[in-house]
Amino acid sequence: MEPLLPRAIDGYLDDLARAEVDDPVLTDMERRASELSFPIVGRAVGRFLEWTAGLAGARRVVELGSGFGYSAFFFARAVGADGEVICTDGDADNAALAEGYLRRAELWDRVTFHVGDAVETFARIDDPVDVVYCDVDKEGYPDAWAAAAERLPVGGLFLCDNVLWYGRVAGLAPPGQDAQVAARQDAATEAVRTMTREITDDPRYASTLIPIRDGVLAARRVE
């Protein structure tokens, strides 16, 4: 997918993030993602997630849609040696891959990985949860938000990727996309818009949308 920002800007932001955190394991994960066109968050967003969770003093992070552990790498750094990142994904192969990568990065001891539907798994996870990070299929965003909104404590964070959905939320079709593909995306686009509107309208949360890569939403529970 073409980035929303000019490639040079995306590259500049990724280079800055790489200067702060670099690891051959991340490079290997990025290679896999690129070869298989698997949608990871990338360096700049990964660093933003780590920085935000660190600022919130998060000790327990739940990821809804972990893929093979790339975003979890950053959260695992943020929570520290005594913290916990609880990953979820519907694909058991991703769990095995994540274990391999995160063991190599010496971060696996702070990670648990559940295979199954993310929101159903989340319902079985004990409190406290300081951060919920949402990156499931876009049609699932409203349900993910509904589950997280009730569970997070005051000061807790809901973080969500792809909230610009490559411009579709603002009526922009990604360049080169044919009409049939665009039509299939309508339900996903509406789900992203619905969730974002619900967050914005929820007086318990103060939120902001950061337009890096495909847009990251950060909502902090204030009441």
Structure tokens at 188: 């996903």
Q: What three-state secondary structure class fits 97?
A: helix
Question: Under rule CB under 6 A, which residues in 197-216 are in contact with ligand SAM?
Answer: none
Comparing CB distances to ligand SAM, the nearer of 54 and 90 is 90
Question: Under rule CB under 6 A, which residues in 32-71 are in contact with ligand SAM?
Answer: 39-41, 65-67, 70-71
Q: Based on the shown chain and the rule CB under 6 A, indicate whether residue 89 belongs to the binding site for ligand SAM.
A: yes
Task: Tell me how far apart the alpha carbons of residues 32 and 78 are, in angstroms, rounded to a whole number.
Answer: 23
Q: What is the DSSP letter of 164?
A: S
Tell me the site size for ligand SAM, rule CB under 6 A.
19
Q: Based on the shown chain and the rule CB under 6 A, indicate whether residue 118 belongs to the binding site for ligand SAM.
A: yes
Q: Which stretch binds ligand SAM (CB under 6 A): 6-14, 52-60, 86-94, 123-131?
A: 86-94
Q: Based on the shown chain and the rule CB under 6 A, indicate whether residue 136 belongs to the binding site for ligand SAM.
A: yes
Cβ contact 113:98 at 8 Å: yes
Give the rounded distance of the alpha carbon of 179 from its chain centre.
Answer: 28
Per-position x/- string for 162-201, each x denoting binding to ligand SAM as judged by CB under 6 A, each - no binding:
----------------------------------------
Residue (of 9, 61, 37, 29) closest to 212 by Cα position: 9
Task: Tell me how far apart the alpha carbons of residues 63 and 115 are, in angstroms, rounded to a whole number.
Answer: 12
Task: Tell me how far apart the alpha carbons of residues 13 and 9 are, in angstroms, rounded to a whole number.
Answer: 6
Residues at the interface with ligand SAM (CB under 6 A): 39-41, 65-67, 70-71, 88-91, 94, 117-118, 135-137, 140
